[in-house]
Amino acid sequence: MKKNKLAPKGSGAAKKLNIKKLNIKTKPPALKKGIRIEYAPSLESSDHIQLQKTYGHFIDGKFVEPRSGQYLATHNPATEEKLADVALGNSQDVHDAVMAARRASDKTWSRMPGSERAKYIFRIARLMQERARELAIIETLDGGKPLRESRTVDIPIAAAHFFYYAGWADKLEYAFPNRKAQPVGVAGQIVPWNFPLLMAAWKIAPALAAGNTVVLKPAETTPLTALKLAEIIQMADLPPGVVNIVTGAGATGQALVEHPEVNKIAFTGSTLVGKKIQKMLAGQGKKLTLELGGKSANIIFEDAALDQAVEGIVDSIFFNQGHVCCAGSRLLVQESVAKIVIRKLQARMDTLIVGNPMDKNTDIGAINSKMQLNKIEEYLQAGQDEGATLYQSQCAVPNKGYWVRPSFFTDVAQSHRITQEEIFGPVLTIQTFRTPEEAIEKANNTPYGLAGGVWTDKGAKIFKVTSQIKAGVIWANTYNRFDPTSPFGGYKESGMGREGGLHGLAPYLKF
């Protein structure tokens, strides 16, 4: 038998080993600012992805050319290369789609037993799972988000929404006992560019389960996964007209909102457009849910597990380049630990990799569009002009494409624009507080009320603080966790109504 040179002689191994001699460090090296571990590239291939040069609308079960004959280009924000042209929808296209949805509602879908509807919805979920890799790659190419996120968050959770709501389709009478729930009819659904397929799933799955038909308008810059979903819907043999997808710009969305045959509007997007839609629909009796912007506070108490909290900060603001409505974009940290938290955060930020979203090592991908890049850069300048101090990691970024290094501001006042307005990018503001009361007051001091986070070792403090923050979702000792069974939505200027869970069915039903 070979002698193991490292094996200790006798008992009391740890004591007798000469650790210094073996060059084993008893402590991991401290993370110093600027130290980065270099990883070999781990690129996902897109060779097998089949994209058409041109996509029409998906109306009445078929892809059709736009009535105007006009198309919009969609680009990869990481390379600025064109991916495809998609139809630019006008009010006639919207009309065709809405009338297809109306016919499908009257003739098939609303009359079909819930157990039959469930089979179709399950089938969509299964097909999404089967094509998960393809969907994740297209989401990353079209939107700029790291593949690591699209394949572990966007696509699996989108499929999970279809699975979850398929389960409710034949149980509506148990979900709403003694209330005789009926579908509302045709739902017009408008989604933004930050989680294109996931937002489509949030909207379509509960609507179908509740017996409604749908016209979806994807965002201008990220229409491709919705069009792939149209292919899946064809494969699932969903009756024609049950789901229709009209691509285009803001005016296309507006035509959908205004169409008299639409019974319900579900909108996710900016507060500005949400307010416009609410005004347009005033007095019309159409049902409306609005999932709008946010400026959520992530509160770190001195008794929190600080290393975990720092990971939570990274997750809350740098996930999806900060293009997240519920991003913890305002860090409130207790004064006694502020210095150490900021130091740890700086060290962690210096290890984040910004770059090719198709590389599985990438932490922060491309900003979704040139327009959004300009908006973030404007806020970076505004923050400095107002007197805040900017810190940005110094990592390299590619020459082409749209990029923002992970950033935070200190010396921030509650009145600064960067503290009050939604930046929708990888930019954090940091403020301190001394007491839980001060943290609560600062957390609530915005026009928004979408989400928040609390980090503390004390359960009682979690309940005390979370119960006084006016926000739809608050995470404790974690951040950005999503589950189809859990309702999501805002207060104040973050919107009205809930999506997800049992609550997410109610807006698609009349009683």
Least distance (Å) between residue 482 CB and ligand NDP: 10
Residues 259, 415: contact at Cβ < 8 Å? Answer: no
Least distance (Å) between residue 252 CB and ligand NDP: 7
Question: How far apart are alpha carbons 192 and 136 in whole angstroms?
Answer: 17
> Where on the chain is the footprint of ligand NDP (CB under 6 A)?
190-194, 217, 219-220, 249-250, 253-254, 257, 268-270, 273, 276-277, 291-294, 325, 422, 424, 450, 490, 495
Least distance (Å) between residue 253 CB and ligand NDP: 2
Q: Which residue is nearest to ligand NDP (CB)?
A: 253
- Closer to ligand NDP by CB, 258 or 302: give it: 258
- Closer to ligand NDP by CB, 359 or 422: give it: 422
Least distance (Å) between residue 450 CB and ligand NDP: 6
List the catalytic residue out of 149, 291, 422, 499.
291
Residues 242, 222: contact at Cβ < 8 Å? Answer: no
- Closer to ligand NDP by CB, 330 or 348: give it: 330
- Closer to ligand NDP by CB, 46 or 420: give it: 420
Least distance (Å) between residue 74 CB and ligand NDP: 11
Question: How far apart are alpha carbons 486 and 473 in whole angstroms?
Answer: 9
Closest CA to 148 of 137, 159, 157: 137
Least distance (Å) between residue 324 CB and ligand NDP: 7
- Closer to ligand NDP by CB, 44 or 291: give it: 291
- Closer to ligand NDP by CB, 100 or 256: give it: 256
Question: How far apart are alpha carbons 103 and 234 in whole angstroms?
Answer: 18
Closest CA to 55 of 68, 74, 78, 76: 74
Residues 6 or more apart whose Cβ sits within 8 Å of residue 239: 61, 104, 108, 109
Closest CA to 220 of 322, 324, 46, 77: 77
- Closer to ligand NDP by CB, 406 or 490: give it: 490
The question of whether 220 is a catalytic residue gets the answer no
Angle at 26 between CA 12 and CA 351, to 5 degrees: 150
- Closer to ligand NDP by CB, 131 or 217: give it: 217
Least distance (Å) between residue 455 CB and ligand NDP: 23
Radius of gyration (C-alpha) of the chain in whole angstroms = 25
List the catalytic residue out of 44, 325, 422, 493.
325
Of the chain, the end-to-end C-alpha distance in Å amounts to: 79
Neighbouring-strand partners of residue 491: 449
Q: DSSP 3-state assignment of 449?
A: strand
Least distance (Å) between residue 423 CB and ligand NDP: 10
Question: How far apart are alpha carbons 111 and 109 in whole angstroms?
Answer: 5
Question: How far apart are alpha carbons 33 and 452 in whole angstroms?
Answer: 28
Neighbouring-strand partners of residue 189: 216, 266
Nearest-10 crossing angle of helices 132-143, 196-209:
130
| Unique residue bearing structure tokens 């150490």 | 340
3-state helix, strand, coil in the chain (%, to 5): 40, 20, 40
The question of whether 422 is a catalytic residue gets the answer no
Token duo for residue 70: 């006009």
- Cα 238 to Cα 232, 235, 348, 453: the distances in Å are 9, 8, 47, 40
- As annotated, the active-site residues are 291, 325
